[in-house]
């Protein structure tokens, strides 16, 4: 048995995250091993899932990973779980394209053969709620809507009106409702989220949400729906026997924590031993490191601390003088730059490795899926290699010198060339999912191993 359920919404803001986190907590309270997943390229919502369950939440992204890769991610996370709760992205049918289900919550539910609970905000409506559900049912012949959860009800009577209309017209059960003000508000998704979770500041929020869900939602019915999903033994993506071994240092703290679990696992499967360090704690780069991986996160929220932590900065600069292989994305790219200017207009000195000045702004600068093609050989890709990922950032980067771009980026609105690279550094805004091309972690480990060998040979001379 592999019980699984998808929590889809009619659009962003419908209440998917509240419902998902609440269900994970409520099932955990019942003594079940609950596993969280998130459709689409998101790091924030999985942080909530992980905090509640104590299990790493994973992204089931059908566009970045394809069907086989996405199922491999699901298998990795759900193997010993009693129930898997998969939070959707945006509206149920929103994804890569406005003309297909590609990359959408609906496509994930179809590929995983997982029933869907549709969350509907019923504020200011009654019978019209049935029209909304009916529309979502009819848009696709492969719709797997197996239940409806009503959100933002004005009263129990209001919820009952909508339930009657939906169950009569749509032939699916309403599994529960949440009154307006019933559930505590989701905490701020940006400022200090990870530190707050680590300090346990959100524990009371999770507990309250779990209690509300147990009172308002038919958990047994939802579990029955989840258990109705067919039992499947999807093929395991067998890792290739690693050809090289190297130590990869990973910057991991409140400033840098946007890593897909599979990126780290694929590095290990490619022969890497991962060692973690905290730039925010002014920890130096581990001395045994043969390579460095700096992911994304919120460096702008800790710019002053990062600028002042000289042990970390000096150790990385010294290693890069020796041409240590480095891969940095988004927040890591910003950290490698000359300066990071926060929204208060104050510039903070970063590592000064890449001649770029980064400036934070209050509006979103870039968002969306990206397909990249390497324009030349680098520490993570050979020329012509293709990989997939996404961008999400509020900063702009002003290049202070000319450099050849690392890759060509294909996005919804066209193509462009960007990214920084040298013979030992690759950096850019795009968050790559290594599952889209497992040759990336293998090449990174190969380059790190070659660097170590060269260093050892030099020491022996």
Return the active site residues. Answer: 330
How far is the C-alpha of 7 from the C-alpha of 109, rounded, in Å? 10
Residue whose C-alpha is closest to residue 34's, from 206, 193, 197: 206
Positive or negative, the CA dihedral 75, 90, 412, 260 is negative
Write the DSSP assignment of 202-248 as a string of letters: THHHHHHHHHHHHHHB-HHHHHHHHHTSPP--PPP-PPPPPS--EEE
CA-to-CA separations, 259 to 149, 169, 213, 253, 351, in angstroms, rounded: 31, 44, 30, 11, 21
Whose CA is closest to 253, among 291, 188, 306? Answer: 306
Distance CA 216, CA 183 (A): 10
User: Tokens 């997943």 label which residue?
Assistant: 37
> Which residues on adjacent β-strands are paired with residue 329?
428
**Cβ atoms of 275 and 284 closer than 8 Å:** no
Integer Cα distance of 32 and 55 in angstroms: 12
Q: CA-to-CA distance for 321 and 218, rounded, in angstroms?
A: 60
């Amino acid at each position: 048995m592999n019980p699984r359920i998808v929590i889809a919404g009619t659009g962003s803001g419908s209440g998917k995250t509240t419902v998902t986190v609440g269900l994970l907590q409520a099932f955990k309270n019942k003594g079940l091993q609950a596993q969280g997943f998130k459709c689409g390229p998101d790091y924030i919502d999985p942080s909530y899932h992980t905090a509640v369950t104590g299990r790493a939440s994973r992204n089931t992204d059908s566009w970045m990973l394809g069907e086989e890769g996405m199922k491999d991610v699901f298998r990795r996370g759900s193997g010993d779980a009693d129930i898997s709760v998969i939070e959707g992205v945006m509206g149920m049918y929103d994804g890569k394209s406005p003309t297909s289900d590609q990359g959408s919550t609906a496509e994930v539910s179809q590929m995983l053969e997982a029933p869907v609970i549709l969350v509907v905000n019923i504020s200011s409506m009654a019978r019209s709620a049935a029209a909304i559900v009916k529309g979502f049912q009819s848009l696709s012949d492969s719709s797997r809507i197996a239940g409806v959860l009503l959100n933002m009800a004005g009263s129990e009577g209001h919820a009952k009106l909508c339930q009657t209309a939906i169950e009569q017209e749509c032939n699916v059960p309403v599994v529960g409702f949440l009154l307006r003000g019933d559930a505590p508000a989701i905490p701020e998704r940006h400022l200090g989220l990870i530190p707050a979770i680590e300090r346990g500041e959100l524990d009371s929020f999770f507990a309250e949400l779990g209690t509300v869900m147990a009172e308002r939602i038919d958990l047994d019915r939802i579990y029955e729906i989840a258990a109705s999903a067919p039992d499947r033994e999807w093929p395991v993506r067998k890792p290739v026997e690693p050809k090289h071994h190297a130590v990869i240092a990973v910057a991991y703290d409140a400033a840098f924590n946007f890593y897909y679990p599979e990126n780290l696992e694929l590095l290990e499967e490619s022969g890497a031993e991962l060692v973690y360090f905290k730039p925010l704690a002014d920890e130096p780069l581990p001395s045994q490191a043969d390579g460095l991986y700096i992911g994304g996160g919120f460096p702008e929220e800790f710019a002053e601390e990062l600028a002042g932590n000289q042990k970390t900065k000096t150790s990385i600069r010294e290693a890069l003088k020796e041409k240590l292989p480095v891969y940095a994305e988004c927040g890591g790219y910003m950290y490698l730059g000359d300066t990071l200017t926060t929204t208060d207009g104050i510039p903070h000195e970063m590592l000064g490795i890449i001649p770029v000045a980064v400036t934070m702004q209050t509006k979103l600068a870039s968002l969306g899926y990206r397909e990249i093609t390497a324009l030349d050989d680098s520490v993570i890709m050979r020329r012509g290699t293709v990989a997939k990922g996404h961008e999400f950032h509020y900063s702009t980067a002003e290049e202070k010198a000319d450099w050849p771009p690392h890759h060509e980026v294909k996005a919804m609105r066209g193509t462009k060339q960007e990214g920084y690279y040298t013979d030992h550094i690759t950096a850019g805004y795009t968050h790559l999912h290594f599952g889209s091309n497992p040759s990336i972690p293998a090449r990174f480990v190969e380059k790190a191993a070659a660097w170590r060998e060269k260093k050892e040979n030099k020491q022996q001379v």
